[in-house]
Structures are given as C-alpha cells and as structure tokens.
Structure 1
Amino acid sequence: MQYRSIVRIIGLLVMLFSLTMVPPALVAVIYKDGEGATFMQALVISLLIGLAAWYPNRHLKEELKAREGFLIVVLFWTVLGSIAAIPFLLSSQPDLSISNAFFEAFSALTTTGATVITGLEGLPKAILFYRHLLQWLGGMGIIVLAVAVLPMLGIGGMQLYRCETPGPVKDNKMTPRIAETAKALWYIYLALTLLCAGAYWLAGMSAFDALGHSFSTVSIGGFSSYDDSMGAFDSQLINTICVVFLLIAGVNFSLHFGAFSRRGINLRNYWCDAEVRVFLLFQLILTLICFMVLLDSGIYQSPEETLDYALFQAVSISTTAGFGTHSFSEWPLFLPVLLILSSFVGGCAGSTGGGMKVVRFVLLLLQGGRELKRLVHPRAMFSIRLNEKAVPDRVIDAVWGFFAAYALVFAICLVALMATGLDDITAFSATAACLNNLGPGLGSVASHYGDISDVAKWILVLAMLFGRLEIFTLLVLFTPAFWKS
C-alpha cells in the first residue's frame, strides 16, 4: 500500500476543495452579511492542511492500484466532509457544535439533505449558498471533477472512477479517456444546472434562490433556504419545474451523453433503456397512489391541487431529493411511510440519486422470476436479459451481495440508533433517510435532526457515507484481506 502517495493525493484534493470557500465569500461581500472573513479563514486553514499533506510527499508518483483507489475514495469523502465542516464551526450564525457542524457538512456533501438547523430564513446568505454548493459538488461526485484535473498533475484516475461511479457495472466508459468522460459528465451537469436555475428564475424565484435551489435539485440533494422547503414558494409551476429536473437528474447521465452527442439529438436512447422505463413507471404508480389517497382524504380543495402535491412529493422522496411541502406532515401516515420505503429504490445507476438504484431492483425481480421458472422446469436453462443483452451471472451475484450488505448495514444502524434511545419510527426513518441519502424522516426527525443525541448523529453520518459510497467501497476496508500485502 502506497501510503505516502495516498497522503499526497489527499493533500492535492484538499487544496482543490479549499477553492469552494471562494464563491460563498463573494456572496458574503455582495450581500454584506459579515461571513466573508469566516470563509477566508476556512480557505486558509484548508489550504494549510492540504499543503501539509502534499508538500512532504510531492515527489512520490507511484501508479495507483485498485486497493489504493478504494482507500483514496473513502478518505476523499471523509476528509473533505471534515474540511467542509470548518465554515460551520467558525461561523457564529448558525452557532453549531462539533457534532452538528460535521453532520451538516456530511449531509450536504453526500447530498443527503438532512439538517440540524432551524430558522434557515434568518441565516447569512453566504452560509445558505455554501450548503447548496456542497450539495451541487457532491451530487456528481467531486472525485469525477478531480479525475478530470489530476491527470495533468501526474495522477491516473481510472481506479478512482471505478470505485466512485455508481451502479452494478462499472467498466463502461462513455469516451475512451477517463478525463474526457469526467469532463463530459460535468458539462452535462453544468448545463442542466443552468437550465434549472433559469426556469426557477422565470417562475418567480429570486436569482439567489433560483441558483441555490437548482444546485440542490440537479444534485438531488434537497437542501433549501427555507424551513418549509419548496412549500415556502407555494407555486405549482415551481413544483412542476422541480419534478421535471429531478426526473432528468434521476436518469443515468451516460444516457444524457448519448442522447446529445456530436451525432445529433437522439431521444430514443431513453425509451430503449429498460431501467429508465421502470424508473418512470415507478414514479407514475407512486404518484397515482398518493393522488388517490389524498383525493379520498379531502385534504386539498381541488383535484388539480391534489395532483400537484402528490406528484411533487412522490418524485421528491422516491428520487431521494427530500424536498418537502408545508402540508406533507398532514398526510395520512401510510403515504409518508410508503414514500420513505420507495427511497430504497432511488434513482437510476449513474444518476445523482441515492438508494439502491433501479437497475438492481430490476435484476432482483428478474432473478426472482427465473427462480420461479426453475421450480417448474428444473432442467431448463434460463438467462436474464436486460436491454436485449444477457446479464452475466457474476453481475447477478454481485447484486445479491450488494442487497445483502445493504440490509445488514441498515439493520446495524437501526439497532444502534434504537440503543441511543430513539423510538422505532424515528430510528427506522432516520436510518432509511440517511442510508438512502434522502434527508427527511418521520417522528423526531420529521423537520430536522437537531434534537437527537450526538451519538445518533455520528451513527447517521456513517450511514450517509455507506449510502454515498454504495456500501462495498467502504465495507471493503473492514475486511482483513484488504490490508494484507
């Protein structure tokens, strides 16, 4: 294990990440909210930390292997999550403890969207913008941006990309070179963000709110500048825009790349993909269920208003964005529980959504169907096909292994939270919300996570990391075989 090379790379990443303190500092100057000094201090501190890690090891440029790649990815998220907490620790508004500052930072960077802060409307603009920015950077994975930049500094990136990219099949690349792939992803990501911000602005948001909420929408993060989240705007048009871009961001970004390539626009790529079809069908079914239950309960005055809230909340929760409306708590308990369970499915592989990913559930269902056929025809040979291609058994085995590991991590986190004194509904929903990178829960964490114990918060931070790194990338570090030379 090339430990000094790993420290060198982490130092470079920390120095690059320190530049994220500059935009909030500029926002502080524009709005004169007094937080400019906070972010400049954070910039200096993070630069010094990165320099201290990089400078003594600057001449070490060994080639990365798979094991180093896994360790760097895990250290990347843990170290950068810790660095991201510095402005929250230095700021007097909000005045956060160490546990709360780290929880907020990791929640933002992993696009979980759970918050310990109340009274968001009264916070400095720079702090609000910083929360949105962290989600935007974490949405695509800052590691992909780093892979596009670090090759110029003599660092190969393929191992990092394979450890970071979500989904069961990680060897597919959209372009021959990994740097080109990373750049293509970010161009698409940036274009979607600008389109979303423009749509929000035209729909009536202020420029600040439009940009910030576009960051949290395209990243499927869910942070808002208001305690009532999207409900603060009370606009069906804004809700619809949010739904559209959540659905776009919930689709595999490689399909976006293929649909808008140099050969022209080809939208058939979306409909030809089985995962996208299941994803959209799943959203439709959830919306219809919510609509019918809400219509029967008579909470809203008209069918149009009922459909607006049903569609928005179904898509927001099931894609793991976690945006809410002020009336969500008034719904029959059946619906919030159903939607939180839907977050286990999440978005498509290769999207900014959380959860286990749609393609894994599709493969699990297909495998279940194959086992039923084998019961009827024990000697027959059945293959699982996805997008008209046979899926290798090793992929099916990996999906089953992932599902088992996901269930195990969920059970451990759930029991650990209950051991801290949380009731069953709160513990279950908080575990699901953080492991699926969803955000809002039920019970004591329905509106925020500020009232739970510090121990519970650290357990949930670990759950966020497991969810963001898709279990295996972090779990492999706990195996003795990983550390054997």
Structure 2
Amino acid sequence: MNYGMVLKSLGILLICEAAVMIPSLLVAVICGGNDAKAFAITITITFVVGLVAAMVKPKRKNIYARDGFAIVAIGWLLISFFGSLPFVLSEAIPSIVDAFFETSSGLTTTGSSILNDVESLSEGIIFWRSFTHWIGGMGVLVMTLAILPSAKPGMFQIMKAESPGPNPGKLVPKLGQTAKILYGIYIIITIIEVILLKIAGMSLYDSLIHTFGSVGTGGFSNKGLSVGSYNNIYIEVIITFFTLACGVNFSLYYQALKGNIKEIFKDEELRLYLGVVFAAIILITINIHGSTFRGIGESLRYSSFQVVTIITTTGYATTDFNLWPTFSKMILVSLMFVGGCAGSTAGGIKNVRIVLLFKVIKRELLKIIHPKAVYTVKVGGKAVEEESLMSIASFFFIYLIIFITNIFIVSLDGFDIVTTTSAVAATLGNVGPGLGMVGPMGNFSEFSSLSKIVMSLGMIIGRLEIYPILLLGVPSFWKK
C-alpha cells in the first residue's frame, strides 16, 4: 500500500469538494439565507484539511489496484462526512448521524431522506442537497480526474474502483481526456434539461434542482410531494426522458458522437434495459387501469414515470405507488434490484450482470445436454473471460449476504417486514423510496441511529459496488 500517495490523493479530493461547495455558498448569499456562514466554515475546514494532506510528498507516485480501492472507499466516506457539515452547522439537520445519512444519500444518488419538511429549508441548503446528486452521479473521483491538469497512468485504478459496472474502460488512450469527455457529455445533457424544464414552467432554481436529481438519477426534490406537486405532464415527460437516458451507458453517447449509431442498438445490455422498461410499463398500466386510475392514458402516464424513475434508481414520484395493487408494487421492487446500465449514473445490480448471468445459466444447461461441448459466453460478439464470470457470480452472492445482514440489523427497530425489507433494498440499490413507512410520501426519520448508519454505509457500498468498502476490513489489504 502506497500510503503517501493515498493520503495525497485524498487531500486533492477534499480540495475539490471544497471547490464544488462554492456554488451553494453563492446561492446562500444571493438568497440571503442564514446558511452562508455554515458553507463558509465548511469550505474553509475542508480546504485546509485537504491542503495539509495534499502537501504530503510520497516516495513513490505509482497508484496500484489496492491504492485505487483505498482512495475510493476512504474518499467516499470522507466526502460524505465533510459534505454533511453544512447541514449540521446551519442546524438544518442538527444530528450528525441524520446529516451523514442525508449527504450519503445525495452523493450516492440514492434520494432517501430523513427530512419531514424539505420546503422549510433555506435555498442554499436545498441547492447543496441536490447538487450532491450531480457531482456523485458521474463519480466524485472521476470529476477530480477531469479537473486535474494531467492524470498519471496509475489513476486508472481509481476510475476502475469507482465506476459502476464490471469492466469500465477508457474511451480514449489518455485517462484525463476520458474523464473530460464523460463530464462534457454529462454537462451538455444537464444544460439541455434545465432549459427544457424552464420552458415547461419551472423556475430556474427548480429546474436546476430537478435536473441535478434527473441526470444524477438521485431524486431529491425541493417539494414535499416531489414532481407530483407540479401536476404538469410536460415536466413529467421531460424528466422521464432524461432519467431514462442517464440510465444508459455514457460510452454509447460517445459512440453516437463518433457516428457509430448502429453499434449502439447492437448493445445487448441496452436492449435488455429498454425491454425491461417497456415490459414493466405495459404490465403496470394494465394492472392499475380501472382499479387505481380510470383512463388508459392516465394509467400509462403514471406507470411510465414511476417505472423509469425506479429502474434508474432515481426515485422521483408523481403519485403514491404505495397504494397500487400488489402486483405493480412487486414489479417496482424487482426493478430496484435490476437498476440501470453499467457506466451510467444509475444504481442497482446493473443490466449487464443480468445479461451475463442468464448466459451462464444457458451455458450450464447446454453442458448438461452436451457434456463434451465447449461453450463460450459472449457479449457484443466478444468472449467474456471466466475470471469475469466468477467475479459476477461472487458479486451476486455478496450482494445477497449484505442485503440479508442489513435486514436483520434494521429489523431490530421493530417495523413491519415490508418497510424493513424495502428500506434496505432502496438504500443498498441507491433507489430512494421504498414501500410502507418509507414509501414516496414517507421518509426514513423514524429509524434508529444504528439503522441509519447501516443504511448509510449500505448506500455507499451499493454505489461503489461492494468491493472497495469491504476491502477496508481485510487486514492483508493494508500491508505494504
């Protein structure tokens, strides 16, 4: 372990976090809120701590796999802690546990909340709360790589550890350029949605808040009734489209810019993702038509919005789907686990893992029929290594263990099984709302501090896809 380089990288990360708090400080100053002081103090503390750490001069400047995982895991814990300070210092959320939960939820683009009255918060705090979605969506460390003037070859280990999906890669040979391309696409999508939401009737402030939640697939709103408070079909269509788009692997947009349109539609993960979305919309529309909503158009409107925001783990709501028939609710719960595509801002297990899992099952069945035959699992015409397939199988198993363990711990609070199970599923999958007490009209405020800490760590574990956080508890991981 290259401790010097790990510490230096963490320092640079904290300096970047201090910098991205400045827009929230400006909003607080412009709007005349009493939260400006809280941001000023937080920015100063975060910058000073980051500067001290960044001044470390490591003997070796190489970053290997272990270093990358350590930087990512510790980095996310640190930015969640320092990012929670504005809530505590402004007394918007006096409890450090609650503030850490809210910040972790924002940065991991989960969207679960402990707030009972979000509309009472100051504009600067609300802006920071939603802006954490935007910086966490693409990845805080990927953003750092995009900002740095040059990224050393070893920095790929950081991007690999943070990026969602089983096999992140470079779009171009230079890593720093790859990060800039990703954030360039991300910014363009953000600007377009802000403009469209403004045209649809939102204020500029509200457009920014809901765009951060859409493109970051987070789901924080400045309204108590979420997107449903606007009751505007144009706004719903815009958010549905951009949320669905941000659940797609961003590397496909780069391929589109290069003119490789045909290759996009050959992507097996994208086809599964869109297929699951359309199938779920049709099934739920049929199920809620007549029982929950009268018209087929109204049923389609609410089912499509909710399906897209749940599978992309955004969590925006336009209606209380807690009141929908059990069949529809079970579909939504299933979508919480599936999630979006690898390389997107969405959470969940990811569609590419589902694709590969079904291919492995098919291969095993064929091997029973033809024991001597050799079958190769392929995705996009390329053979997948056995090591990758074993890694995916391990991921499913560990994910299940963490899910069950968290359920047992959270169940100590004594809430009903639907609330407990869906709360863990919503936080581990970075979805946001669950069912029961934590439905779209509820929140997580009634849980104990222990449960909130467990679910906060669950959000970070889910966002980093398990391994970086778990490795921190392995003694051999820390050896030189």
Q: TM-score range by the shorter chain?
A: over 0.9
Query: Which residue in 2 is equivalent to 1:197?
Result: 194
**Matched residue type, 1:289:** L
Q: Deviations over 1:248-271 (max 9, x none)?
A: 10110111111113xxx4432321
In 1: Cα distance, 2:177 partner to 2:96 partner: 39
> Does residue 155 of structure 2 align to residue 125 of structure 1?
no
> Does residue 251 of structure 2 align to residue 254 of structure 1?
yes
In 1: Cα distance, 2:215 partner to 2:93 partner: 29
Query: Which residue in 2 is equivalent to 1:91?
Result: 90
Query: Which residue in 1 is equivalent to 2:451?
Result: 456
Query: Which residue in 2 is equivalent to 1:235?
Result: 232
Query: Which residue in 2 is equivalent to 1:134?
Result: 132
Q: Which of 406, 410, 420 is the aligned partner of 1:427? A: 420
Query: Which residue in 1 is equivalent to 2:209?
Result: 212
Query: Which residue in 2 is equivalent to 1:438?
Result: 431
Contact 2:112 2:431 in 1 (8 A): yes
In 1: Cα distance, 2:248 partner to 2:267 partner: 10
Contact 2:146 2:183 in 1 (8 A): no
Larger RCO of the pair (alpha carbons < 8 Å, separation 6+): 2
> Does residue 16 of structure 2 align to residue 22 of structure 1?
no
Query: Which residue in 1 is equivalent to 2:323?
Result: 330
Q: Deviations over 1:65-101 (max 9, x none)?
A: 2111110110110001101001001113x24311111
TM-superposed deviation, 1:61: 5.4
Q: Which of 104, 107, 110 is the aligned partner of 2:108? A: 110
TM-superposed deviation, 1:333: 3.3
Q: Deviations over 1:157-183 (max 9, x none)?
A: 11111211221223x311001000000
**Matched residue type, 1:332:** P
In 2: Cα distance, 1:53 partner to 1:180 partner: 26
Query: Which residue in 2 is equivalent to 1:5?
Result: 5
Query: Which residue in 2 is equivalent to 1:341?
Result: 334
TM-superposed deviation, 1:281: 0.3
In 2: Cα distance, 1:384 partner to 1:361 partner: 13
**Matched residue type, 1:275:** E
Q: Which of 466, 472, 477 is the aligned partner of 1:477? A: 472
Q: Say if 1:95 and 1:149 are closer, same or farther in 2 by CA, change over 3 A.
A: closer
In 2: Cα distance, 1:54 partner to 1:482 partner: 23
TM-superposed deviation, 1:118: 1.9
Contact 2:302 2:319 in 1 (8 A): no
In 1: Cα distance, 2:351 partner to 2:181 partner: 23
In 2: Cα distance, 1:426 partner to 1:2 partner: 43
TM-score under structure 2 length normalisation: 0.96
Contact 2:342 2:350 in 1 (8 A): yes
**Matched residue type, 2:289:** L
**Matched residue type, 1:452:** F
In 1: Cα distance, 2:361 partner to 2:93 partner: 51
Query: Which residue in 1 is equivalent to 2:37?
Result: 37
**Matched residue type, 2:297:** E
In 1: Cα distance, 2:45 partner to 2:478 partner: 32
TM-superposed deviation, 1:58: 4.2
**Matched residue type, 1:382:** Y
Alignment identity in percent?
A: 37
Query: Which residue in 1 is equivalent to 2:174?
Result: 177
Contact 1:147 1:160 in 2 (8 A): no
Contact 2:309 2:315 in 1 (8 A): yes
Query: Which residue in 2 is equivalent to 1:379?
Result: 372
Query: Which residue in 2 is equivalent to 1:274?
Result: 268
Contact 1:199 1:241 in 2 (8 A): yes
Aligned pairs (5 A) from 1:302-341: 302-341=295-334
> Does residue 46 of structure 2 align to residue 64 of structure 1?
no
Q: Which moved more, 1:17-26 or 1:73-82?
A: 17-26
Structure 2: gaps (5+ residues): none
Aligned pairs (5 A) from 1:386-425: 386-425=379-418
Q: Say if 1:480 and 1:460 are closer, same or farther in 2 by CA, change over 3 A.
A: same
Contact 1:61 1:155 in 2 (8 A): no
Contact 2:35 2:86 in 1 (8 A): no
In 1: Cα distance, 2:388 partner to 2:205 partner: 44
**Matched residue type, 1:13:** L
Contact 1:384 1:391 in 2 (8 A): yes
In 2: Cα distance, 1:388 partner to 1:465 partner: 33
Q: Deviations over 1:6-48 (max 9, x none)?
A: 2222112111210122111111222222322221121112112
TM-score under structure 1 length normalisation: 0.95
Q: Say if 1:61 and 1:154 are closer, same or farther in 2 by CA, change over 3 A.
A: farther
Q: How many residues align?
A: 478
TM-superposed deviation, 1:276: 0.4
Structure 1: gaps (5+ residues): none
SS of the residue aligned with 1:344? helix
